Amino acid sequence: MSAGKDRRRHHVYKTRHTEYHLRDDECVGVRDRESGLWMLDHAALRLRALRLPSPPHSHEWLGRRIQFWSRQTDVLTSPVVEVERPEFDDVGAYVSQARAGAIVGDAEVGLKVSHL
């Protein structure tokens, strides 16, 4: 069987204190690494990242910062210390899922969230 194009779209870029969950180049979830809480009001949510490496080369981003942008704001992360694939259960907690109506409530899905 030949290896085809990597079609995985979700990646997690971890900094010392924060996880940035991306679908392609859009930030769809931000989580505090110490508490495990999802930060629903983080400035990077729904913003696009500038210049990310293609998925097979994501680890080339170690030590670099991610810049997210929009017409209203920019966010620059601290240096990336780890890049990985998200846990299957994490994908359901993403902001994009919440806005689509897939998340009915924190208690019902067992999510830990923060409005920092």
Burial environment of residue 73 by CB neighbours within 10 A (0 to 12, 13 to 18, 19 or more): exposed
- Work out the percent of the chain whose per-residue pLDDT is above 70: 70
**Alpha-carbon distance values, 19 to 14, 68, 80, 104 (Å):** 4, 14, 9, 23
Per-residue pLDDT tens over the stretch 29-63: 999 999 999 998 899 999 999 988 766 666 777 99
pLDDT tier at 92, thresholds 50, 70, 90: confident
- Per-residue model confidence (pLDDT) at position 27: 93
- The amino acid at 45: L
The pLDDT value recorded for residue 97 is 59
pTM tops 0.85: no
| Domain range list for the chain | 10-103
What does the alpha-carbon distance between residue 11 and residue 8 come to, in Å, rounded to a whole number? Answer: 8
Which stretch, 12-26, 47-61, 79-93, has highest mean pLDDT?
A: 12-26
What is the pLDDT at residue 75?
Answer: 95
User: Which pLDDT score, from 0 to 100, does residue 61 have?
Assistant: 79
